[in-house]
Structure 1
């Protein structure tokens, strides 16, 4: 498999709304496994296809409460039930220099399609619930920093511009 390039904030492609998948093909399976390779290589706990410039409804997440596999691949995921509140400090592979506490649902039930084309329902709580909600937001063109105040968003943009300038200067030398 391959490690894919992750789009970095403020890339406008991160705001693209992903399209649903109608059929599980070899290409969809390859994309999903490439996304897993990318997530593991970058030491993330979740990744949405939109983060690797693929506007399709695919997310991958690490799953420590799924005994069969250490990961989940969800196609066309949709939250069908939410309960409770939780706020865990979130980060993002597309915004590596920033973390924030974001209010989320503590428990969710999600319906999705697996790589065999079967409709599945999964229940998630705590950090797995937060991770899935975070990745589904990506499919809707929403970043975790969109939950923050405009002032905090502007600070993040300035910080990232400075970091990007340093990287560009380093690359020139």
Structure 2
């Protein structure tokens, strides 16, 4: 039976949650800067905004492509930013701050990150770009680029802090699952 033209349309992207195996995979470099990648970027921005996130990497929606979207940050970014094939070229300083992740809803932890980063990337037209980021934006770029390499923020914690975060996360997931089952 035919499914029509819409069959080839991109399925609605869904957030992937730990322990989904796609979160541990390394994303592949983007070679074609075409309508498909622009559509993926727009869809990722929508998913990120709906989830009230500040950043999202391809892995987090099941796409193993080196794409990062970053949301509006008052006084820093006036519109969402899309980084294709990002690479950090320079890092300075460090700061420990609280960090969360859309793939680990309901938990957060203090993570050490570089205070400033310089990243090279391609924009949606495939043009080479560079960004010097500090503070919150630098933190988001590092966090999302970790995702592209299969690294999750609990990996950056001490053994005991990671163990506690994962225990808290599993407990929250169990509570959410039980609550959802009771409503059915």
Relative to structure 1, the CA distance from residue 72 to residue 56 in structure 2 (aligned partners, 3 Å threshold; closer, same or farther) is same
Structure 2 gaps, min length 5: 1-9
Bigger radius of gyration among the two: 2
Q: What TM-score comes out, normalization by structure 1 length?
A: 0.91
8 Å Cα contact 1:3/1:38 also seen in 2: no
Name the CA distance, whole Å, in 2 between partners of 1:133 and 1:37.
21
SS across alignment from 2:41: helix
Across the aligned residues of Structure 1 and Structure 2, the Cα RMSD in angstroms comes to 1.8
User: Structure 1 residue 2: deviation in Å?
Assistant: 8.3
C-alpha deviation, 1:61, in angstroms: 0.7
Do the aligned partners of residues 38 and 49 (structure 1) sit closer, same or farther apart at CA in structure 2, a change above 3 Å counting? Answer: same
Would the alpha carbon gap of residues 46 and 2 (structure 1) be closer, same or farther in structure 2, given more than 3 Å must change? farther
Residues 156-171 of structure 1 mapped to structure 2, 5 A cutoff: 156-171=165-180
Which of 85, 98, 110 is residue 89 of structure 1 equivalent to?
98
- In structure 1, the residue matched to 2:71 is 62
TM-score, structure 2 as length reference: 0.86
Whether 2:12 is the aligned partner of 1:6: answer no
Task: Give 1:96 deviation, angstroms.
Answer: 1.5
Task: Give the alignment of 1:124-163 within 5 angstroms.
Answer: 124-163=133-172
Q: Is the 8 A contact 2:105 2:169 kept in 1?
A: no
CA distance in 2, matches of 1:87, 1:3: 35
Aligned to 1:95, the other structure's residue is in SS state: coil
For the residues of structure 1 that align with 2:79 and 2:66, how far apart are their CA atoms?
20
Q: Is there any run of 5+ residues in structure 1 with no aligned partner, and where?
A: none
Count, aligned residues:
171
Instruction: Report what 1:16 is aligned to.
Output: 25
Distance 1:145 1:112 in 2: 26
